[in-house]
Amino acid sequence: MIGRSGFDGTGFPPQLFVPADLPAGALAGVRTRRIVALFFDLIFVFILSVSLWLALAVLTFGLSLLILPPLFPIVAFFYNGLTISGYRMATPGMRAMDLEVRLTDGTRVPFLNAAVQAVLFYVSTMFPPVLLVSLVSANKRCLHDMLAGVIVTRRFM
């Protein structure tokens, strides 16, 4: 039985593996599409960060320049958290590539899981060999997806 903490008593989160009822093409081309979506999203987060930086610098007459250097990670955290946990279940870059993010049991991703997945992704970019986990994973999940309990699949209409 699974308790309120979300764990089943063994120390591991439940539903660690992908359900077998995914459609046949659900994982086809996911890695390539995720890479392209990442570049779209990085450009969009950069534009949002620069716009917010300029707006805050103008509104505070330059006094906020001391707190603005960590602006990109903050924007990326909320960008990923809000867009992935939204009703479309994907960032704009993922939507352009027909991808969506779900929990491994198929339900919508809550904000906290989506934001944690983003933080773990940006941490894993500091250690690029960690991203190679998706090459040996049977369901094409990266390590940060496994830790956050999510799976990225193709969007099916």
**Number of domains forming the structure of the chain:** 1
**pTM of the predicted protein model:** 0.79
Q: Which domain holds residue 114?
A: 30-154
Task: Confirm whether 64 is domain-assigned.
Answer: yes
Average pLDDT, whole number, for the chain?
83
CA–CA dist 118, 115 (Å, integer) = 5
Cα end-to-end span (Å), the chain: 34
Extended strands (E) in 92-155: 99-103, 150-154
List, for residues 71-86, the tens digit of each pLDDT value: 888 999 999 999 999 9
Task: Confirm whether 17 is domain-assigned.
Answer: no
List, for residues 4-20, the tens digit of each pLDDT value: 444 444 444 444 444 55
> Is the pLDDT score of 105 beyond 60?
yes
Confidence band of 94 (pLDDT split at 50, 70, 90): very high
Task: Confirm whether 43 is domain-assigned.
Answer: yes
Task: Confirm whether 9 is domain-assigned.
Answer: no
Task: Confirm whether 108 is domain-assigned.
Answer: yes
CA–CA dist 113, 1 (Å, integer) = 22
